[in-house]
Amino acid sequence: MINFRSIKAIYIFEMSRTFRTLIQSLISPILSTVLYFIVFGTAIGNNINFTNEIPYGAFIVPGLVILTISMQSVNNASFGIFFPKFLGTTYEILSAPISYVEIVIGYVGASATKSFCLGLLILITSTFFVDLNIKFPILMLCMLLLSCVSFSLLGFIIGIVSDNFEQINFVPMIIITPLVFLGGSFYTIDVLPDFWQTITLFNPIFYLVSGFRYSFFGTGEVNILISIFSISLFILLCIIIIWRIFKTGYKIKT
Amino acid sequence: MQTIIEIKNLKKIYKDNKVALDDVNLNIFKGEIIALLGPNGAGKTTLISNICGISSITSGDIKVNGFDVIDNYREARKCIGIVPQELSFEPFEKVINTVNFSRQLFGKKPDEEYIENLLKKLSLWDKKDQIIRSLSGGMKRRVLIAKALSHEPDVLFLDEPTAGVDVELRRDMWNTIKNLQNSGVTIILTTHYIEEAELMANRIAVINNGKILLIDKKDNLIDRMSKKTLIIHTNSKINKIDKALEKFQLRVSKDKKNLEYDYSPNKKKTGITTLLNEIKKTGIELIDVQTKQSNLEQIFVEILKND
C-alpha cells in the first residue's frame, strides 16, 4: 500500500521551497535563456545556415530547453536531498513510515515538476523570439517529462553521495554542462570533423537533444526510437543505483 | 505491565568494526519513563537510532507495539516519535508548517485542532507563524518535541533533551516530559545528567561500551546499590583512631571531630551496634549521630568503575 500522504508531504514541502526562492528557481534560468536567444538566435544566428530549412533561432530551442532543465533538475533534486543531510533533518525521513520508493517519488517528483514547468516557460519565452511550430506536441511533452525525471534521478544520486557543496556543484558544472554543449544543442554533428562526430556518439545527451528536436521539427540526427531507448536506459540505470544506495544505506544510514 | 518495546540480542557493529551495541536485551513498558544513562559514546543514541530506523541493525530483533521494526516497519514507526540531540531544522520554515509536515510525513490526516492543542501545550501557539531560526534554543527544542508528537505516537524518544540547556529551561523541560507521561506517552530518555534520570525516570538502564550493565526501578537501584555513611560527632579532637576501632575502617573528618563509618543498610548486620559499643569502651563522648545516603551519581560512578 503506497503511503500517498507521506509522498504528498515531501512533494509539497519541496515545491514550497521553489516559491521561497522564486528568483533563483524560475527567473534566473529564464533570463539566461533569453540572453542565449538574443546572442545566438538573433545576433549570430542570422549568419548560420547549416540547419537546412529550420531557422537557427528555432533550431536551438530544444537544445536550450535541455540545457536549462538538465541543470535545474540536477540542482533541484541534489539540493532537495542534500539539504536535509546538511541540516541533519534526514532523521525524520528515515524514521517515518515511508518506503524508499516513496521517498524517491516525493523528492524526484517535486524536482521534475519544477523543471517541467520551467521547460514550458522557456518554450513560451522562446515564442517571443522565434516562430515555433511543434510537429509532435504530445511526444515533445513526453520527452520533456522523461528528461526532467532522468536528470532529477541523477541529481538525487548526486545529492546523496555528496559530502559538501563543492561536490554538489562538481557534476553539473564539470560533466553535464560540457556534455550538453557538445551534444549538438547548438549545431548538427555533421559540421564536426569525423573524429569528433564519433566521440559525440558516446555522449548520451546527444540522443536526448536529437529526440527532443525530432518532436519539434520531425527530423533528428538519430532515429527517435534510439533516443527513447537511450533515455529509458539512463532512467533505469539511475533507478538501479538509487535502489542499491537505499539497500546498503550508503551515505544515508550509519 | 504491558511491554511496548522488546529488544532481543541486538548487536550493532559499524564498518570500522567498532561494536556500538553488544547483545542488548531490553523490555520497555507502556506508560513508563525509562532513562538510558551512560557516558558519551556508550551506545545510547545508537540504540535509539536502531529502534527508529535511522541506522541499520547488524543482528537481533526489535519490536514496537508487537511490530518488527524491519518486517513491519510502517506499523512500528507509526508508534514512534523522536526528538534528536541536535537542533536540526529547515531554518526558514514556519513553526506551524514544519509541525504539519511531520504529521503528514507519518501518514496522518491534517488535524488543525490537535496541532493547535499540541502547540498550546508546549507554549508554542503564539510562535506558530515565526520562522524557526528566529526562535530561542529552548523554543527550538520545543518545536522538535511538537514535531515528534505531531502524529500522536505511543512512544517518544528524547535523546539528551536538556543537553546544553540552562537550569531554568531544563526544569521547564522536565515538567513538559512529566506532563507527556501523564497523557499516556511512554518516554525513553537518554541522558548523562544523573540528576535528570533520578528526577524523571521510573526505571533506569545503565549503558556503557554498548552493553546494558544494569536495569532496575530507580528506587530499587538506589536501595540495592547504595551505601550509607554513619557520621559520629564527638566533643573531642581525634588525632589517632584507637586500635580497638581499626577493624571498622573509620575515617576521621577534616576538623578531626567526626568519625565516619560506611555500611550497607541492606545487610542483616550493619555493624553499627558493635561500633557504638566499642566507641563507648574507648571513652569517646558522643554529641550526635547522623546518616548520609549515597545518591545515584555515586552509584553510577561505582557501576562504571566495576565495568
Measured between beta carbons, the chain A residues lying within 8 angstroms of B89 are: 87, 89
How far is Cα B101 from Cα B126, in angstroms, rounded to an integer? 19
Mean pLDDT computed over B174-194: 87
- Say if residues B251 and B305 touch (Cβ distance below 8 Å): no
**Tens digit of each residue's pLDDT (9 = 90 or more) over B110-133:** 999 999 999 998 889 999 999 999
pLDDT given for residue A151 in this prediction:
93
From the number of C-beta atoms within 10 Å of its C-beta (0-12, 13-18, 19+), residue A163 rates as: exposed
Q: Is B53 helix (H, G, I), strand (E, B) or coil?
A: coil
Q: Which residues of B touch A87 (CB under 8 A)?
A: 88-91
SS (H, E, C) chain A: CCCHHHHHHHHHHHHHHHHHCHHHHHHHHHHHHHHHHHHHHHHHHHHCCCCCCCCHHHHHHHHHHHHHHHHHHHHHHHHHHHHHHHHCCHHHHHHCCCCHHHHHHHHHHHHHHHHHHHHHHHHHHHCCCCCCCCCCHHHHHHHHHHHHHHHHHHHHHHHHHCCCHHHHHHHHHHHHHHHHHCCCCCCCHHHCCHHHHHHHCCCHHHHHHHHHHHHHHCCCCCCHHHHHHHHHHHHHHHHHHHHHHHHHCCCCCC
Query: For the ranges A47-51, A136-140, B102-106, which has the lowest average pLDDT?
Result: A47-51
Instruction: Measure the CA–CA gap between B231 and A35, rounded to whole angstroms.
Output: 89
pLDDT band at B254 (very low <50, low <70, confident <90, very high): confident
**Does residue A254 fall inside a structural domain?**
no
Residue B11 CB-density burial (10 A; 0-12 exposed, 13-18 middle, 19+ buried): middle
Residue A241 to chain B, least CA–CA distance (Å): 19
Question: What secondary structure letter does DSSP report for B40?
Answer: T
Residues 50-79 of B with CB under 8 A from A: 52-56, 73-78
Beta bridge partners of B205: B36, B215
pLDDT score of B295 more than 70 = no
Longest Cα–Cα distance of chain A, Å, equals 59
Q: Locate the chain B residue with the closest alpha carbon to A7.
A: B105
Contact A5 B104 (CB under 8 A): yes
Under the banding of pLDDT at 50, 70 and 90, the label for residue A228 is very high
CB contact under 8 A, A94 and B54: yes
User: Which pLDDT value is given to residue A13?
Assistant: 92
Mean pLDDT of the A176-184 span: 85
DSSP type of residue B64:
E
A125 domain-assigned: yes
Q: Do B92 and A94 touch (CB under 8 A)?
A: no
Q: Which of B129, B54, B107, B153 is nearest to A106 (CA)?
A: B107
Q: What's residue B226's pLDDT?
A: 64
The pLDDT tens digits of the residues spanning B39-88 come to: 888 899 999 999 999 999 999 999 999 999 999 999 999 999 999 988 88
Residue A254, all three cell numbers: 550509519
β-bridge mates for residue B22, sequence order: none
Residues of A in contact with B147 (CB under 8 A): 92
Q: Which of A3, A87, A254 sits opposite B88 (nearest CB)?
A: A87
Contact B287, B233 (CB under 8 A): yes
Structural domain including A167 reads: 4-248
> For residue A192, what is its C-alpha cell?
564536426
- Residue among B47, B105, B154 with most chain A CBs within 10 A, to mutate: B105
* Length of chain B, in residues: 307
Measured in whole angstroms, the distance separating CA B188 from the mean position of its chain's CA atoms is: 8
8 Å CB contact of B89 and A94: no
Average pLDDT for B209-216? 89
Distance from CA of B53 to the nearest CA of A (A): 5
Q: Which of A18-22, A243-247, B84-88 has the lowest mean pLDDT?
A: A18-22
Whether A253 maps to a domain, the answer reads no
According to the model, what pLDDT value does residue B242 have? 85
- Count CA within 13 A, CB hemisphere, residue B238: 26
Identify the pLDDT of residue B307.
64
Max mean pLDDT among A185-194, B24-33, B201-210, B222-231 falls in: B24-33
Rounded Cα gap, residues A119 and B273, in angstroms: 92
Q: What is the dihedral of CA B139, B140, B143, B144, to 10 degrees?
A: -140
A-chain residue closest to B46, CA distance: A254
Is residue B223 within a helix (H) or strand (E), and if so which, with residue range?
helix B218-225
Q: Tell me the per-residue pLDDT of B136-151, one tens digit each, with 9 for 90 and over.
A: 888 898 899 999 999 9
Give the residue from chain A lying closest to B51, CA to CA: A95
CB B143 within 8 Å of CB B135:
yes
Q: Which of A147, A169, A171 is nearest to A235 (CA)?
A: A147
For residue B90, the chain A residues in CB contact (below 8 A) are 83-84, 87, 89
- Report d(CA B278, CA A124) in Å as an integer: 103
Q: How many domains does chain A have?
A: 1
Nearest CA in chain B to A248: B56
Query: Averaged over A157-181, what is the pLDDT?
Result: 87
Residue whose C-alpha is closest to residue A221's, from A63, A64, A70: A63
Given this model, what pLDDT does residue A58 score? 85
Region A203-208 average pLDDT: 89
